[in-house]
Amino acid sequence: MLQRPRRNRKSAAIREMVEETTLTTKDFIFPLFLLEGTKKSVPVDSMPGINRLSLDNMLKEIEECLNLGVKVFDIFPVVDEKYKDKTGTASYDENFFYLKALTEIKKKFPEACIMTDVALDPYSVDGHDGIVDDNGVILNDETLDVLAQMAVAQAETGIDIIGPSDMMDGRVAEIREALDESGFTNTSIMSYTAKYASAFYGPFRDALDSAPKSGDKKTYQMNPANKREALIEAEQDELEGADMLMVKPAMTYLDVIHLIREKTELPVTAYNVSGEYAMIKAAAQKGWLDNDRVILETLLSIKRAGADAILTYFAKEAAQLLKK
Ligand code: PBG
């Protein structure tokens, strides 16, 4: 036998020497859920270990994460029903608690990279990412204007990256133009490029109480059956000025991550979503899976598929595991 692949696996030192992919804490983006008020920490039942936090507690959490080497955070607001309307006007009201909190966070931790989410769903009485008309149709072009206003309002707080997660056509160009016109030429856009109409977002919608009141998101989020279509989205987002392209979810879409990585020179990110987190945590709690090893293997696999960075609720825990 001339080829004995096992020779390259015979010791930890050799295995490490020939390792093709290395997972590091620098790869992680940590999504956080912000609550209005103070001294609040409310667990998300379907995401063991994850809490919705008021600003004071979130500042502590960010500080702990920074000390572990996690430097990028994606912050989502939990919006009370009383602020919701048909067109998400709260999203660009400068007195809205989310925008004020973002300003505070950037003031306290200028070295942290803060990302925000642009879509109507947390602010909408309909729970959809776009404006819904009387017949239940999601209006594309009418929504773009709100998304642009929301993005500019978020940029004004000093945050670093805008994350359009709404999947309306043409929104990256609209947001880029609005940001530039308002002087925010330095604010980045990480576009949710290939975002699928997935059942894995369930726990996130529990956390934010943002599930659609009627219908589903299939007229704007992508059909899980499609791969080539992801390339159309990627090409559009790139032409429209996106700085980074995201695939979402991650574990069940590794082929799409790989494909987009091959086709673009831009950084590619993957969102290891709430349902993927819940699944692993539930099995680990039952003692059916080894929590620590499964987390690291999952994140490593997403990176091996081609992701340059990973949005993951495991960010803090994985950073602690990598430190060991
Ligand atoms: C909002 C948004 C969603 C997620 C991120 N931004 C939910 C959705 O589109 O329904 C899901 C994230 C997760 O499941 O972890 N548009």
The finding on whether 276 has its CB within 6 A of some atom of ligand 1 is no
Instruction: Catalytic residue, from 195, 217, 281, 316: name it.
Output: 195
Angle at 191 between CA 251 and CA 210, to 5 degrees: 70
Give the pLDDT score at 53: 98
Query: Measured in angstroms, how far is the CA atom of residue 278 from the centroid of ligand 1?
Result: 14
Instruction: Catalytic residue, from 71, 84, 217, 248: name it.
Output: 248
Phi, psi (rounded to 5 degrees) for 152: -65, -40
- Catalytic, 106? Answer no
Protein residue with its CA nearest to atom 11 in ligand 1: 201
The finding on whether 204 has its CB within 6 A of some atom of ligand 1 is yes
Protein residue with its CA nearest to atom 7 in ligand 1: 201
The finding on whether 74 has its CB within 6 A of some atom of ligand 1 is no
Indicate yes or no: pTM above 0.85: yes
Q: pLDDT, tens digit, for every residue of 171-182? A: 999 999 999 999
193, 260 contact by CB (below 8 A): yes
Query: Measured between alpha carbons, how far is 285 from 93 in angstroms, rounded to an integer?
Result: 41
Query: Measured in angstroms, how far is the CA atom of residue 201 from the centroid of ligand 1?
Result: 6
- Cβ contacts of residue 82 below 8 Å, gap of 6+? none
Query: Measured in angstroms, how far is the CA atom of residue 222 from the centroid of ligand 1?
Result: 13
Mean pLDDT, residues 179-193 taken together: 98
With 0-12 CB in 10 A as exposed, 13-18 as middle and 19+ as buried, what is 67? Answer: exposed
32, 75 contact by CB (below 8 A): yes
Mean pLDDT, residues 57-85 taken together: 98
Q: pLDDT, tens digit, for every residue of 250-289? A: 999 999 999 999 999 999 999 999 999 999 999 999 999 9
Mean pLDDT, residues 68-86 taken together: 97
Amino acid of residue 313: Y
Give the pLDDT score at 23: 98
Q: pLDDT, tens digit, for every residue of 106-160? A: 999 999 999 999 999 999 999 999 999 999 999 999 999 999 999 999 999 999 9
249: cis peptide before it, omega within 30°? yes
Give the pLDDT score at 243: 98
220, 196 contact by CB (below 8 A): no
Strand runs labelled E in the chain: 28-35, 41-43, 51-54, 72-77, 113-118, 131-132, 138-139, 161-164, 188-195, 244-248, 268-272, 309-312
Mean pLDDT, residues 71-91 taken together: 97
Q: pLDDT, tens digit, for every residue of 228-257? A: 999 999 999 999 999 999 999 999 999 999
- Catalytic, 100? Answer no
Angle at 9 between CA 5 and CA 11, to 5 degrees: 150
With 0-12 CB in 10 A as exposed, 13-18 as middle and 19+ as buried, what is 267? Answer: middle
Q: pLDDT, tens digit, for every residue of 27-44? A: 999 999 999 999 999 999
